[in-house]
Amino acid sequence: MSDYFKNKVVAITGGSSGIGKALVEQCLALGAKVATCARNQDKLYDLQIQHSSSPLHCVVADVSNYNDCKLFIESTIQQFGGIDVLINNAGISMRSLLKDADPGVFRKIMDINFFGTVHCTKLALQSIIERKGTIVGVSSIAGYRGLPGRSGYSASKFAVNGWLEAIRTELMDDGVNVMWVCP
């Protein structure tokens, strides 16, 4: 398994902190060529400096914006020639009871957690099919059980899980692996 990532192109959304940053660092250590995006330019710059001798491509992008997703995926393909593994990691949460929640929060969570996954996957799909690659969604246990105070987050992760399950079946004959992880 340790050779699996050698020279593979891995695109990771939300790579400037948390799980995404850990994935970037682990994939680089395993010999992958890594592209990542995040909203925070300063954190991406620090990541780029930290790994200046590594094949790391960083793009400032907000996955809730289709054009930002397009820039990230297209520049990754241009930089590395394709994408073998797409890890849809970017996401946000919420902590608010429904009665106290701003309705705009629900749209923002769906735009980032769900539509960011949809957009990046759709844009990278042709390359992933050509390479018989892998699509990963970083979801949550909240995608299986609704959590009080996190109703919008739970709904977005339910959507991610269901969508990935559907495309997993669709892409099976193309040799594409689709999976989701729920840390």
Handedness of CA 22, 60, 69, 132 (dihedral sign): negative
Q: Give catalytic residue positions.
A: 153
- Identify residue 150 by its one-letter amino acid code: R
Please give the Cα distance from 167 to 89 (Å, whole number). Answer: 17
Nearest 5°: the CA angle 14, 16, 20 is 50
**CB contact at 8 A, 11 and 124:** yes
